[in-house]
Amino acid sequence: MHRSLKNTLLTCVLSVLMLAVFAYAGVSSGEARVLKRGMRGADIYDLQESLVELGYDLTVDGVFGSETESLITEIQRTVGLIPDGIVGTQTAEKLNELITSIFPYTVQWGDNLTNLANRYDTTVTNISTYNGLKNPDRLLPGQVLYIPIDSVTALSRSANTRLTMEWPVQGGVSSGYGYRVHPIWRNRHFHGGIDIAAPEGTQVKAAASGRIIKVGNLGNYGLCVVLQHTGGVTTWYGHNSKVLVRLGDSVKQGQVIALVGKTGLATGAHLDFRIKIGEHTVNPLDWLP
């Protein structure tokens, strides 16, 4: 067989194998090749989509560049692996574990494992085992539990029942949540929020009551404000022209916190509004009235 034809067939076979190894829900450590910066292919593409499913903002282009390497290094550091930015067997296994969402929950008066398991669509055994609870019947208010759940959808549904939001600014949705062609880069990109078009200087209001935990410039996201709410929920307000609150402030729902702008990477004035539960983004349209 001609060498070039043989190489082409081999590449096709490897691509099929990679697609089988990297499931939609996550990355498998089966017989996948070791992935590192400079590589490209279907397996890199699936790795990037898995990172997006974990809630990271990332360009999904099938190229293992600095952006992907940086996120892998961050994850490795978090889970206690050598932060080399290379996806080998150990890193792939950890990514698989992370695909099962782990939600930090602060125990309240009256909580018990049965109620928490029902609320987060998991089991008492899962919660007890993950947290190493010697006495599952004894929970203390203020105690932090890490709750493994099977999907961000279940987490979103649970948190959404306990937090009422209102629109942060009046305007039309110019770009929705999920995959899109980036308006500037012109590549396929996951958008972790919604863009609400509004004239520059329009008042931006807190979607729910909370505490300001971040204020400042976040690169492409521009001048932003982040609010912490109950249940591990945060709301993010990006591309503002001016911020009207300070770090640590407590704000009420509907309070003006910023003015619409086009700071950061933006084609025009709008608010990039995001909702996160832990590190996971959820679709704001599922939460807004």
Which CATH number goes with the domain that contains 8?
Answer: 1.10.101.10
Q: How far is residue 204's CA from residue 29's CA, in Å, rounded to a whole number?
A: 45
Q: Which residues contact 239 (CB under 8 A, 6 or more apart)?
A: 221, 222, 223, 224, 260, 261, 262, 263, 264, 266, 269, 270, 271, 272
In a domain, 142, yes or no: yes
Q: Is residue 167 part of a domain?
A: no
Place of tokens 């309070």: 255
Say if residue 80 is in the same domain as residue 128: no
Is residue 117 included in any domain, yes or no?
A: yes
**Does residue 155 fall inside a structural domain?**
no
Residue-wise pLDDT tens digits, 64-86 = 999 999 989 988 887 788 999 99
63 and 130 co-located in one domain: no
pLDDT block averages, 10 residues each, the chain of length 289: 44 39 39 86 83 72 92 83 92 74 78 84 79 83 78 57 86 83 58 92 97 91 93 91 96 98 92 86 86
N- to C-terminal Cα distance for the chain?
63
Domain at 126, CATH number = 3.10.350.10
> How far apart are the C-alpha atoms of 88 and 47, rounded to whole Å?
12
| pLDDT value, residue 69 | 94
pTM of the model: 0.54
**5 conformational bin, left if phi > 0, alpha if psi -120 to 50, beta if neither:** alpha
3-state secondary structure of 231: helix
Comparing CA positions, the residue from 254, 155, 161, 158 lying closest to residue 208 is 254
Q: What is the mean pLDDT of the chain?
A: 80
Domain-ending residue, one of 99, 128, 162: 99
Q: Specify if 51 maps to a domain.
A: yes
* SS3 letters across 1-55: CCHHHHHHHHHHHHHHHHHHHCCCCCCCCCCCCCECCCCECHHHHHHHHHHHHCC
Residues 230 and 163 sit within 8 Å (Cβ to Cβ) = yes
Q: What is the extent of the structural domain holding 193?
A: 173-286
Q: Report if residue 164 sits inside a domain.
A: no
Give the residue from 115, 135, 150 where a domain finishes: 150
- Note whether residue 161 is domain-resident: no
Task: Evaluate whether 152 touches 236 at the Cβ level (below 8 Å).
Answer: no
194 bridge partner residues: 273
Q: Are strands 280-282 and 210-217 parallel, antiparallel or unpaired?
A: unpaired
Domains held by the chain: number? 3
26, 110: one domain: no
Residues 11 and 106 occupy one common structural domain: no
Given this model, what pLDDT does residue 9 score?
41
User: For residues 176 and 285, is the Cβ–Cβ distance under 8 A?
Assistant: yes
- Report yes or no: 157 and 20 within 8 Å, Cβ to Cβ: no
Pick from 72, 99, 126: which residue ends a domain? 99
pLDDT of residue 244: 98
Is 209 inside a domain boundary?
Answer: yes
* Residues 187 and 273 occupy one common structural domain: yes
Could you tell me where the beta strands, DSSP code E, fall in 155-208?
173-175, 178-181, 188-191, 194-197, 203-205
Give the CATH number, domain containing residue 200: 2.70.70.10
> Are 105 and 92 within one domain?
no
On whether both 279 and 195 belong to a single domain, the answer is yes
